[in-house]
Amino acid sequence: MVQFASEYLRGGGHGERQELHLGGGAKMNWKILPKKSDDLTEQLLINRNIKTKIEKELFFHPKLNYFKKDLQIPGIPKALNRIKKAIKNEELIIAYGDYDVDGVAGAAVLYLGLTSAGAKVLPYIPHREKEGYGLSKQGLEFARDSGASLVITTDTGIVSFDMADYAKELGLDLIVTDHHQEQGSKRPDAFAIVHSIKLCGAAVTWALVKTLITKQADEDLLDLVAIATVSDMMPLLGINRCLVINGLEKLNQTKRVGLLALFRQADLEIGKIGSYEIGHVIAPRLNAMGRM
């Protein structure tokens, strides 16, 4: 590998296509971009087509107010009205998550955000083997038996057509927040749908919840959003880059007992946690719970 690196660097062919043989008949083609700056940072920005002062500012110092449109997801106003009604009437809300990092973090965002707004919330994480992916009969029946009248999903539900119908049969209102691809133009028959493929599931949920809570409360949830965004391998550009940069700041100051215990177990030092630590140290441990 070291030999390959030195060969690759020596062969800077200014846009020429070079062939790398990996052995066993495998090969890769690399296109080396032309050198336009002696400054490494500047060259890397050029490689990423980041040229203007504004583009550089958005890349290095993104602010959430730059990305307001990305967070104005259709369906939020209708979902928000139903949540406000539930809070006013003291209805129990089920925060229905998923068993991966994104779904667990999203359920935590729902629970913490809504309870800070005065809602009665009970989180639910489905069993990977017994229930499988998406909404399940067992989960919806748990909501009914718990006395809930509203179920809000996070990171799941956009293709749960049959289960959306079953929720209606059980007398449950369903709000779907998800980021997975839709099945053509078909959508589940839910009370409201908040859906965006630009964000991870927890971030879609956060975009909904933040409209209901204080600025301080919504910023305090960004540590969980950052964990979910990196763990779900979202492209760290634009709004996602902004969420992770701001979320890492919160994560490195976190007082969450569960996260601090996890950091101690993983030998992570507060103040030195970045996207690598999330993706390769934190995420596998959180994911493991759904696979045991």
Residue 6 has pLDDT above 60, yes or no: no
pLDDT 10s digits, 31-59: 778 888 899 999 999 988 898 998 998 89
pLDDT, position 4: 34
Is domain 72-288 given the CATH code 3.90.1640.30 in the classification? yes
pLDDT, position 21: 54
Residue 283 has pLDDT above 70, yes or no: yes
Name the residue with higher pLDDT: 207 or 132: 207
Residue 217 has pLDDT above 60, yes or no: yes
pLDDT, position 14: 43
pLDDT, position 34: 85
Residue 277 to residue 285: CA distance in whole angstroms: 11
pLDDT, position 24: 57
pLDDT, position 48: 87
**Burial 142-178, CB ≥16 within 10 A → b, else e:** bbbeeebbbbbbbbbbbbbbebbebbeebebbbbbbb
pLDDT, position 8: 32
The pTM (predicted TM-score) of the whole model is 0.86
pLDDT 10s digits, 139-178: 999 999 999 999 999 999 999 999 999 999 999 999 999 9
Report residue 1's pLDDT band, with 50, 70 and 90 as the boundaries.
very low
Residue 115 to residue 117: CA distance in whole angstroms: 5
pLDDT 10s digits, 242-257: 999 999 999 999 999 9
Report residue 290's pLDDT band, with 50, 70 and 90 as the boundaries.
confident
Q: How does the average pLDDT of the chain come out, rounded? A: 90
* Percent residues over pLDDT 70 in the chain: 90
Q: Domain locations in the chain?
A: 2-65, 72-288
